[in-house]
Amino acid sequence: MYRTDMARPRTFDEERALDAAMHAFWANGYEATSTQDLCDATGLGRSSIYNTFSSKHELFQRALARYIDSMTSDQVEILEDAGRPPMKRLRALFARVVDSEFECRKDEHSIGCLTVNTTVELAGRDPEAAEMLARDLAVRLAAISAVIRSGQSCGDIASTRDAGDLARFLNAVIGGMRVSAQGGADRAALTVISETALDALNR
Amino acid sequence: MYRTDMARPRTFDEERALDAAMHAFWANGYEATSTQDLCDATGLGRSSIYNTFSSKHELFQRALARYIDSMTSDQVEILEDAGRPPMKRLRALFARVVDSEFECRKDEHSIGCLTVNTTVELAGRDPEAAEMLARDLAVRLAAISAVIRSGQSCGDIASTRDAGDLARFLNAVIGGMRVSAQGGADRAALTVISETALDALNR
DNA sequence: CTCGTTTTGCACCGATCAGTACATAACCCA
DNA sequence: TGGGTTATGTACTGATCGGTGCAAAACGAG
């Protein structure tokens, strides 16, 4: 079908372009990011973008997939660090969330989390995005649940609530922290929120 | 300046039109709601909309203000119900939040909360919206803090954390519940999240 | 009924939207 | 060096964007 030999090679790195597009969608949302914005962000011409990614919507899906892959594998890695006790792992997860809100900023404001942003903006009317988000949510909930279960069985976590329920709770708090950050909450505020959330596991 | 007498009267109710516009922005977001959508939602012609609300942006500000007014006064009323003990008031607040996620729906999905949606979509690049949201947040945090303080002094709330910090926490959980609802969480899931959040106040 | 004022409907504005057509450039292989 | 193939830049498409101009309609006051 394609003969990549004996033809003009690309002058750009597809992964880098995808990364730039991802940041554009992340900072401004799907609707507010125009195809021209994507050209500017990636440094590519319209032809190259459409030749490589087919459409704005497919480019968005690839950008979202990339974000989900990197963020969730990052978090799962923290959660599956068998060398540390469960509560320490959860604390590390929250610390990671707080840090992430101060990594990518724009005009002194957090740009939040692409997963949360997309859930709010698109989940209700973009079936493909909704399904990607649902699958990712399941993965994250499973990872958190596993840590909580092990914490409950070793006595590190006192709460007798269902591990899955506690995982949903922690996940909701993380989402709420993202929103709070976009609403202007500073590092201290986010830190206290996460500490308080962990209080709920110890009763 | 204006002589409303001896001129053609309006054929529509401004508050009803504003309400329809608010629901359109609420369900679809600012960017995804076109002026044509606003005409369809309100039943007004373009002239009437621009004559009454000046611009899409000003109409949005009025819609957001209307939403904030009604939602926050609703919640503050629950929180200031001096006849009930503090924890009961907080529980009632969360019950109200859960219910609200199942009042206005679209295609089996929650449309969330306009305050959260706007924080995510616009807070970073719309100063007027950001300021309205910040003022509203301060009001809600103050109301929650007051309830928590009274709960701490009467022994209804065991946590010795700063009341303001606990309020930030509860507010974040509420935001996280809105996001979870948009991500597909059902009533039982939201209920457990709120119960777990309240666990944190009793240790 | 006429005048002054505002509302309303309709046509229209330039700008921008996502996406495409096509010629040419750039490359590998023979 | 010439031919096959893909990448790229430029110009363009129809549709829609937010917003406006304007004339007719609709009313109250005199």
Question: What is the per-residue DSSP string for B127-143?
Answer: HHHHHHHHHHHHHHHHH
Q: Rounded to an integer, what distance in angstroms lies between the CA atom of residue A39 and that of residue B19? A: 38
Structure tokens at A55: 């459409």
pLDDT reported for residue B2:
43
Instruction: Look up the protein residue whose alpha carbon has the minimum distance to the C1' of C19.
Output: A55
A 65-104 near B (Cβ less than 8 A): none
What sign does the CA torsion over A108, B116, B197, A148 have? negative
- pLDDT tens series, chain A, 203 aa: 445 567 899 999 999 999 999 999 999 999 999 999 999 999 999 999 999 999 999 999 999 999 999 999 999 999 999 899 999 999 999 999 999 999 989 988 999 999 999 999 999 999 999 999 999 999 999 999 999 999 999 999 999 999 999 999 999 999 999 999 999 999 999 999 999 999 999 97
| pTM exceeds 0.75 for this model | yes
* Tens-place pLDDT, residues B119-128: 999 999 999 9
* Tens-place pLDDT, residues B101-159: 999 899 889 999 999 999 999 999 999 999 999 999 999 999 999 999 999 999 999 99
Instruction: Look up the protein residue whose alpha carbon has the minimum distance to the C1' of C29.
Output: A6
Give me the residue from A29, A107, A159 closest to B121, CB to CB: A29
What totals of helices (H) and strands (E) does chain A contain, helices first?
A: 9, 2
Q: Rounded to an integer, what distance in angstroms lies between the CA atom of residue B113 and that of residue B100? A: 9
Average pLDDT, chain A: 96
Q: Rounded to an integer, what distance in angstroms lies between the CA atom of residue B128 and that of residue B58? A: 10
Structure tokens at B180: 């979870």
* Tens-place pLDDT, residues B81-105: 989 999 999 999 999 999 999 998 9
Q: Rounded to an integer, what distance in angstroms lies between the CA atom of residue A120 and that of residue B175? A: 11
Cβ contact B10 with chain D strand, < 7 A:
no
Q: Rounded to an integer, what distance in angstroms lies between the CA atom of residue B9 and that of residue B38? A: 21
State CA A84 to chain mean position distance.
23
